[in-house]
Amino acid sequence: MLTLYYIYLISLPITFGFSLHAYKKMDSNFKWFVPFFAFVIVYEFANLLNWLMINHTNSWCSNIEELIEFILYTYLMTSLVKRVLYKKKVYTLATIVILLSLIDMAFIQGIWRLNTMAIVLQALFILSLICIYYYNLLEEAEEGLVLLKHPPFLVATGLLFYFLSKSVFMSCFSFMIYKNNYHFYILAATIPGLSNLLLNSLLIYAFLCFSKTKKSAALSQY
């Protein structure tokens, strides 16, 4: 099970490298992936070396990292739908989710425990945005669009599996972890690693498609 986690760690600098390679060819709303993956690499390896352990836990930094992730993925999924009123509504609701997450962190589960309620709420919110994006894509898709080579679709699909697994996993977390359920430890060592690997794989493919799309567009001008 640990092997899966180490494979995920190895995949981080690889994904970061592909994001750097595609940076100039990415749409502007994807460019934040480069500094974000730089941050994630530092964060994950600091966690691996126990540099972030305070009060015998690293949950405090996980709560903050989850909140940062929520803000960035909300921005990404919202930017894929070109409707001003829709964006205003999403950002208003996202602000409420952030406030509820901070309340959970400060007063309910606390900063020293993993804020599973907030994480599940954030995951369900992102999943809703993904479903809206899919509906909008099917309704307004251009003729000849190949979804399997369309970077926004690929990223959204990776996020779909990532947040689905996260919502299910975190829904069970508080109930099972504190009961020392052996089967849960197996799931804890498997599900997050698999979902992260799948997301990173689709991100790498999306970054490659950005490069190919831009090259094809440039060649078509001659």
The residues spanned by each domain of the chain are 2-216
User: What residues have CB less than 8 Å from 33, skipping those under 6 apart?
Assistant: 19, 26, 203, 207
Please enumerate, as own/partner, the contacts of 76-82 that have beta carbons within 8 Å and a separation of 24 or more.
Answer: 76/29, 76/30, 76/32, 76/155, 77/126, 77/129, 77/130, 77/132, 77/133, 77/156, 77/159, 78/129, 79/29, 80/29, 80/133, 80/136, 80/152, 80/156, 81/132, 81/133, 81/136
Burial bucket for residue 164 (CB in 10 Å: 0-12, 13-18, 19+): middle
Provide the pLDDT for residue 217.
38
Q: Is 144 helix (H, G, I), strand (E, B) or coil?
A: coil
Pair 10, 193: CB distance under 8 Å: no
pLDDT digits (tens, 9 = 90+) for 88-128: 999 999 999 999 999 999 999 999 999 999 999 999 999 99
- Model pTM? 0.91
pLDDT digits (tens, 9 = 90+) for 173-214: 766 655 666 566 666 667 888 899 999 999 999 999 997 765
Provide the pLDDT for residue 215.
47
pLDDT digits (tens, 9 = 90+) for 4-25: 888 899 999 999 999 999 999 9
HEC string for 41-89: HHHHHHHHCCCCCECCECHHHHHHHHHHHHHHHHHHHHHCCCCHHHHHH
